[in-house]
Copies of this chain bind each other. A is one copy, B any other.
Amino acid sequence: VDHSKFYARARTLLVGAIATAAVVVAADQAFAQGPKMTPGERAVKYRQAVYTVLAGNFGPVNAMATGKAPMNAAELTKRSERVAQIAKFLDEAFPPESNGVGNTDAKPEIWTNNAEFQKQLTALVEKSDALAAAAKTGDAAKIKSAAEETAGTCKSCHEKFMKD
């Protein structure tokens, strides 16, 4: 088995992670808001905010898609696109230094079984892109199905990687 591609990819990721960390640490000084936090604490706060924004948009989408709230096509499209946008922000929301930091529900398995976790994040991104596309069709059955599949990726990931 040739692992060279794997190592090249790992190297690329590592270089990217180090560059990101350097930038984020420098930004700590440059644009600090509120009390001084460690990079890990900052990452926890950041990702919890990403999830709050995600849920704040997916909640209404899911309610409309499953008939629990009256359908509003413009709202559905706008919020579905926002779900798809913000879901992608999770790609850098779990740096290793945020493992076990502060008031987090993130299980250590996120880092010890990171390949599986990345699969879950990819599924969310793909399903929410599909949901945004479905919203534009106006087809109620497609929208409901796409919303259920998106919600399924949330549930699946929470069961594996989120504390009760």
In terms of DSSP, what is the predominant structure of the interface of chain A?
helix
Instruction: Flag whether A56 is at the interface (Cβ < 8 A).
Output: yes
Contact B19 A62, beta carbon cutoff 8 Å: no
The residue of chain B having its C-beta at the shortest distance from the C-beta of A65 within the complex is B30
Instruction: Flag whether A141 is at the interface (Cβ < 8 A).
Output: no
Instruction: Bin the interface of chain A by size.
Output: 35 or more
Residues of chain B contacted by A26 (CB below 8 angstroms): 60, 63, 68-70
Contact B29 A68, beta carbon cutoff 8 Å: yes
Contact A69 B30, beta carbon cutoff 8 Å: yes
Instruction: Flag whether A55 is at the interface (Cβ < 8 A).
Output: yes
User: When A30-B66, A31-B63, A60-B24 are in contact, do A53 and B53 touch as well, CB less than 8 Å?
Assistant: yes
Task: With both chains docked as a complex, state the minimum distance between the C-beta of A158 and any C-beta of chain B, in angstroms.
Answer: 10
